[in-house]
Chains A and B, each alone.
Chain A
Amino acid sequence: MTQTPTLSRRSQSSTPSQPRTSRRRGTDARAGYTFLLPWLLGFIALTVGPMISSLYLSFTNYNLFDAPKWIGLDNYATLFQDERFLQSVGVTLSYVVFGTPLKLAAALAIAMLLNSKRKGQGFYRSAFYAPSLIGASVSIAIVWKAMFGDSGPVDEGLSFFGIDLGGWVGNPSMTMPMMILLTVWQFGAPMVIFLAGLKQIPADLYEAASMDGAGPVRKFFNITWPMLSPVIFFNLLMETIHAFQIFASAYIISNGEGGPAGSTLFYTLYLYLRGFSDFRMGYASAMAWLLVIVVGIITLIFFKTSKSWVHYSGDSK
């Protein structure tokens, strides 16, 4: 097969079939929409619809059974006088602020280790990725709880070294470190993305730097970090949003109550309890919308500040 006949056929038919192509484009579009339809219907019925109704409910007093009563901004106003709400904000923020950077640091460090060629690389990559595959599951939260419980492996292990912290699960000041460890351990997803990013960095940059006598630290800060910055930005954004939404593991570890002493009362957990334990669905909806707004603002701030540190190839800077 040569290219010439194809070309000639295309050029031959192009002039007479001009109207036919546009008609075909029309049918293509229709076909496209047809295939899009199931998703679109699902999106409208299962995402947009509930979001609108939850926005409406956030201005009402709704107990799940009786018709919602319009109360305007009352829910939003009472939020800030609710001590448990403020506690849940504090708990969630400390989780996001400490957990996310640690998780990303772990992901980047391991990705860099796995980037170099060595034996059994495939095995290590899978092994490090595995925890994040099963990480969101209920069973891991249960295992985690058992591990950090009284005379669990962690308690026993630490006592062996003379550190006597007792069980972490029942100790209000140790549950947050435990939750952060759990999320850091699940660094697999950002790690894979970092790995892909690292592969994109041209090797000759490092070679050139070596010739100029740059050490590993220098190479990291002058080559890896700036070249990787779009990937770092992406991971930071995704993991931050993700951290705000932590629910399942907190629910399991605290027996669905946010204990001990409210130390695992994460935002979404309190939202859930408000809605389904206290029958305050209007209040829970207000909380949900506040979360949407706050995450939106944080995303915006990330994008605004990213200009100063994220470098895309082809940028003049």
Chain B
Amino acid sequence: MKNLYLPITVDHIARVEGKGGVEIVVGDDGVKEVKLNIIEGPRFFEAITVGKKLDEALAVYPRICSFCSAAHKLTAVEAAEKAIGFTPREEIQALREVLYIGDMIESHALHLYLLVLPDYLGYSNPLKMVDEYKKEIGIALDLKNLGSWMMDELGARAIHQENVVLGGFGKLPDKTTLETMKKRLQEALPKAEYTFELFSKLEQYEEVEGPIIHLAVKPRGDVYGIYGDYIKVSDGFEFPVEDYKKHIVEKVVEHSFAKHSFYQGEKPFMVGALPRLVNNADTLYGRARELYESHRDLLRPTNPFANNLAQALELVYFTERAIDLIDEALAKWPVAPRDRVEVKNGFGVSSTEAPRGIVTYALEVKDGRVAYADIITPTAYNFAMMEVHVRMMAEKHYNDDPERLKYLTEMVVRAYDPCISCSVHVARL
């Protein structure tokens, strides 16, 4: 190789969760190498939970990642319940989904307002926006607080929810609390819509346009949501969640503690809010459906920046959806929090839609203990595709001021809303 310049590196990408960097090597005839270095250390979650009591392992799994601890908890619990042959009652399932939506609302609000928006408005840090953007910060805090309060009430706290147990919940909120929750969700709707308006005006960089393969869980009951039993691919293919290993391979790459995932052997793909919309928009309803119809041209399946707007649309959708789910549970009130479960031997797989895309848990239970665990997180699914998009951005801008190049590539990474720490604790070969 001749004429290689010093690599342009971001050691630690700011305003994402976890430690990762970008490294770009440029030569005379263009970009040579683009790497997402994932330097967050490994925590070996699968290895440390094997042989452990099922309930204790279930308490540990959410600690993979704080931004989606509810997603981890609920997916792990579903996989475990499938393994032991238990199906929760409908009203319990509805309330678990409300908890999951709390995570969705909090996570999307945090990502959009505190992590993404400062780039667009020219701030290095969201706290600095307080004086100039009172309204936006106010909405961010309101939505974030609503999401965390929902998790406090249904999960015992907003991070690492101990209140979800095999068979249901430790304790359920009373009827009045659920009614208040419904009211607060109704009040949040205009704020969610404002968020959508705001994000519909932001630049989506043309530099990264190109075909993307989208993967999302096919929603159960054909209503846009979090749970499902099949994975839908934007090329028209569908497969049961149990078959994930047949269609997705994971590879260790030397510049990352997190693995890369590929569809059909070698194809990078995307998961997240945008893939959910691309694959499942026909199952949306309500105000979100209208917004989707009127803004289709902005929700481009070919541009990862559209993921930001897709999240904003989901803020509207999931707020409405949670109201309906609370109504479902209230219709059956009083609801018993928990059923007796018998911990039988078995194997279960659950894939659900975490805020940033599909998360998969495969658990084998034997004599009340975890005998096998395989976990793939959304960001691990996304890394290979993310690297492709960072490269596209670098190829258009490698001649620019290095500071601008860094800023643009970081923005690509942030659009994916990566959970870097959660991505490194995953998946055996």
Query: Are chains A and B native binding partners rather than an unrelated pairing?
Result: no
B interface with A by C-beta (< 8 Å): none
